[in-house]
Amino acid sequence: MAWYVCSVALHILAACVWIGGMVFLALAVLPVLRRPAYQAVAVPLIHALGLRFRWIGWAALATLVATGVVNLSYRGIGWAQVRTGAAWQGWFGHVLALKLVLVALILVAAGAHDLLLGPLATRLANEHPDPARVRRIRRGAAWAGRGLLLLSVAVLVLGVMLVRGVP
Ligand code: HEM
């Protein structure tokens, strides 16, 4: 029982780190760095912050998946129930299935944002090849970031619904 409480607490802590980090970047750091006074340092700083948060974000996601699997096992759902399809039955199973589909989308969007769009935006901004293309890629990276935040909040709501249902 104590391990179950630890696992759920760690799950919620990792969700706080993952979503809180993105909210802080989107609502505090990026708007400040867009001010003209910080134009000269904005690109290297966004790059450095992106690299720093990348590992924190992936560690939080890995913790969410690992503790999520432990939480499921405490609720009697393991590989056997996944194989027979019993895991996806009823209210809990339907919400869980939707939650896991969105988590898979988050992993793909985070990979695309961190490994493709982010580094490409920084590289192009440093090389100054074509300002219109740089703007397009940076806008793409920004939208991937916003999509990631939206998906993550949806997964958080589904997590709460898993535990409490809808009155
Ligand atoms: C971005 C990823 C995720 C976020 C933000 C997230 C968030 C949450 C939140 C906020 C809760 C509610 C806790 C409560 O209300 O007490 C929860 C519960 C839960 N989550 Fe997740 N979760 C994520 C990924 C996962 C994954 C990948 C799994 C399964 C492999 C999972 C399985 C569960 C389970 C089983 C519970 C119920 C815990 C209990 O027994 O009380 N979650 N999640």
Give the model's pLDDT for residue 117: 77
What are the per-10-residue average pLDDT scores of the chain (167 residues)?
A: 94 98 92 90 86 93 98 96 96 96 94 80 70 74 86 97 86
Q: DSSP characters for 76-88?
A: T--HHHHHHTGGG
Give the model's pLDDT for residue 65: 98
Enclosing H/E stretch for 3: helix 2-24
Enclosing H/E stretch for 112: none
Contact 165, 95 (CB under 8 A): no
Give the model's pLDDT for residue 128: 66
Specify the pTM: 0.90
Q: Which residue has the tokens 């904005």?
A: 42
Give the model's pLDDT for residue 15: 98
CA-CA-CA-CA torsion for 48, 30, 10, 58, nearest 10 degrees?
-40
Q: Is the CB of 64 under 6 A from ligand 1?
A: yes
Most ligand 1 atoms within 8 A of CB, residue of 10, 64, 91, 108 to mutate = 64
Q: Is the CB of 15 under 6 A from ligand 1?
A: yes
Give the model's pLDDT for residue 129: 59
Which ligand 1 atom is at minimum distance from the Cα of 19?
5
Domain residue limits, the chain: 2-164
